[in-house]
Each structure stands twice: as C-alpha cells, then as structure tokens.
Amino acid sequence: MTRAALVVAAGRGDRVGGDIPKQYRYLLGKPVLRWSVETLRAAGVEKIAVAIAPEHADLCRAATDGLDVAMVLGGATRTASVTAGLQALGSADLIHIHDAARPGLSPAIIRSLETAIEQGGAGAAPALPISDSLRRVNGDDAIVDDVDREALVRVQTPQTFRGDALRAAYAALAQDASFSDDLAVVRAHGGLCVTVRGDARLMKLTYPEDFQLLERIMGGDRIVCVGNGVDAHRFGDGDFVTLCGVQIPHTKGLVGHSDADAGWHALVDAILGALGEGDIGAHFPPSDPQWRGADSERFLRRAVQLADAAGARIVHVDVTLLCERPKIGPHRERMRQRTADVLGLPIERVSVKATTTERMGFLGREEGLAAQATATLDRPA
C-alpha cells in the first residue's frame, strides 16, 4: 500500500497575528509546518506535498529545509488547494490531508486512521467529544435554543482516505465548489467516513494565545529569563535623532555606524542577553560596511527571529532613555507603538520612559545620550 500526504498551508493566518503566517512561525524551536512534515515522515508516509500561497514559497523552503517535500500552489479555498495537491500526489492508495496549523500530530494518530481505513471506511478523521454545554445564539448574542451535544464531536485533521475514493469525490465536484473539509467532499459523493479518538495536541492554532496553550499541552517545560542592555552614542552634526524607531527633530544628530538608535540597540542586547546569544556587535559588527547607516529595525527583527528559533516568547520589554534633550515625552507613545509592532506585542507590554542625570556627566553636558533596556522572555527550560 502506497501512502501520501498533503499538508494544506495556503492560508494567510491573519487572526493569529505576527509578521508571517502562523504555519511558518516557530513553536518550541522549529516552524509550525515542520512539526507535521517530520511526523508524517517518521510514520513512513512516502510522498508529502505542501499546498502554499505563491508568495510564501521561500518561507516554505526554509521551514522544510532538508525534508523531501513537493510544493504546490494552493487556491482561494481549501477545496481548491486540495484539488491542486491531489494532482501532485498521483495514484497513492491512501492519502492523509492535514492542516499545517495543527502541529501536534503524532504517529499514533496516523496509525489509528490507517487502521480505520483498512477496516473498510472510505475516510476517517480524529475527533474529540464536546464537554461544554452548547447554545445557539442570535445576532445580538441572546440564547435562542439549546443544542444537544450527545452526538456531536469536534473533528480534527489529518483526514485520511482511500486514494480512489478521494480522487473520485474531487473529480465529481463542480468547478466552483467549496466544502469545509475533505470529509464533507467524500460524504457528498456517498463515501462512508468514520472517526477515531482525537488528541488535544491536535488543536488548531487560530488566535495569538493558542501558541502558548499548545506549547504547554505539548509538554514543553518553560522558564523565565531576563536580559539587560545598555547603549550610548555621542551627538554630532544633524537635525534629528532616531530613538525606538521614531525620528525626533533636534539641533544635533547621533553618531554611529548604523542609525545610532540607542533605544533599540539596548533592547536588542537585552533580548540577546536573555537568549544567551552574545551582544549586538557579534551579530552586526560595526566593521562590516553592510551595516553602515542601517535601520535598527533590522537588528530588532533579527533578535525576534533568534527568539523564535529558540522557542522563546518575548513577553515584556522596558526601555529607559537617558538624556537632557531632546524631550522624550511628546514622542513616547509613538516609540511604544513602533516597538510593539516590530516585536509583535500588545502595547501594554512595552514600556518606554526617560530620565536625566540632573546635568551631571557627559549626559548632563549634552555630549550624547544613552539607553538601558530590559527584556523578559519565556523560553524552553
């Protein structure tokens, strides 16, 4: 029996937030998509295809580096993506269709599904009973009816099918047909579909808080690490300074190899410190001409990528700017928002504040300015 799998990863994943789609974000140290592909390989699935959005090809290659997968261009709907993927899988006897946003897949689930197909079903899917009571509500959120949960289940993926039954069901579809999942397609074509016991780890990543929940379900022990960073730059010629990503008009500029954003430089060092990854100079040497005049947003985004790769979450940051001038107060909220946007944090978890040295020292003489930062990260133990 030949076995193949299609991992559906063509969605944009907007509800979960972040700079990249959820299937390419890191979970416990590796991309979400990679978890499923590795598990399918470990279970002995011979051929694996991934349905992607065309603009995500590079992200998919990076997430599946070293794994033998075929990439196919998905469509505007799940049904269209699976139609395209089936063509890449050929004439496999058994086909698994899996959501990329469900990284908690295990070989045991795959074995259970394949056993169900061997016992005569056209299709099978993992499912869990519903423990909460159910109500139907109207547009005003008023309860209008009770729903009996006794015969209801929550269906997960992978959904597994006899290859001939799945191909025949899709071949019979109207060109613009769209179904919620592949069980619905096969059942509409008369195929018998059954369920096997699902797994809480197969939850679908949909909202920002789901990442933290799934990490805990998947058994990752976590610790809290705090890093500190300090940076200073002297004043020179210019008519503005850049602090925490915001250009502030001033009678002087800041001297530095990059854009001399002391606030973000200190914050990068704080994140690197919590990760045990050295300092900003080790990653972006001032001797390297490619960083001359560079926007410090690149440095901060790289620190976020390193945190993701380590399975860490940045949960709070605090930046203190030390200077007599320029005055920080009028620009503080924009600094907070810019920093929150780059880090992917709610603004409530970003602090930017300022103080002076009461005219003492080089800061008091307005020879330059400095910044201190603290970053709090939740990371694998």
For the domain 3-217, what is the CATH code? 3.90.550.10
What does the pLDDT read at residue 15?
A: 64
Query: Where does residue 174 rank: exposed (0-12), middle (13-18), buried (19+ CB within 10 A)?
Result: exposed
Torsion of Cα atoms, 119 then 124 then 130 then 135, to 10°: -130
What does the pLDDT read at residue 208?
A: 86
What does the pLDDT read at residue 29?
A: 80
Which residue ranges in the chain fall short of pLDDT 50?
Answer: none
Report the distance separating Cα 210 and Cα 16, nearest Å: 8
For the domain 222-380, what is the CATH code? 3.30.1330.50
pTM of the model: 0.66
What does the pLDDT read at residue 123?
A: 97
Cis peptide before 326 (omega within 30 of 0): yes
Which residues does 172 contact at the CB level (< 8 Å), separation at least 6? 189
Report the distance separating Cα 80 and Cα 75, nearest Å: 5
CATH 3.90.550.10: which residues of the chain? 3-217
Report the distance separating Cα 103 and Cα 33, nearest Å: 7
- 3-state secondary structure string, the chain? CCEEEEEEECCCCHHHCCCCCHHHCEECCEEHHHHHHHHHHHCCCCEEEEEECHHHHHHHHHHCCCCCCEEEECCCCHHHHHHHHHHHHCCCCEEEEEECCCCCCCHHHHHHHHHHHHCCCCEEEEEEECCCCEEEECCCCCEEEEECCCCCEEECCCEEEEHHHHHHHHHCCCCCCCCCCHHHHHHHCCCCEEEEECCHHHCCCCCHHHHHHHHHHCCCCEEEEEEEEEEEEEEECCCEEEECCEEEECCCEECCCCCCCHHHHHHHHHHHHHHCCCCHHHHCCCCCHHHCCCCCHHHHHHHHHHHHHCCCEEEEEEEEEECCCCCCHHHHHHHHHHHHHHHCCCHHHEEEEEECCCCCHHHHCCCEEEEEEEEEEEEEC
CATH 3.30.1330.50: which residues of the chain? 222-380
What does the pLDDT read at residue 12?
A: 74
Which residues does 6 contact at the CB level (< 8 Å), separation at least 6? 48, 49, 50, 51, 82, 85, 86, 88, 89, 95, 96, 97, 98
What does the pLDDT read at residue 286?
A: 82
Q: What are phi and psi of 239, to 5 degrees?
A: -130, 15
Q: CA dist 224 to 18, 221, 278, 312, 366, Å? A: 21, 11, 18, 9, 37
Torsion of Cα atoms, 337 then 338 then 344 then 346, to 10°: -10
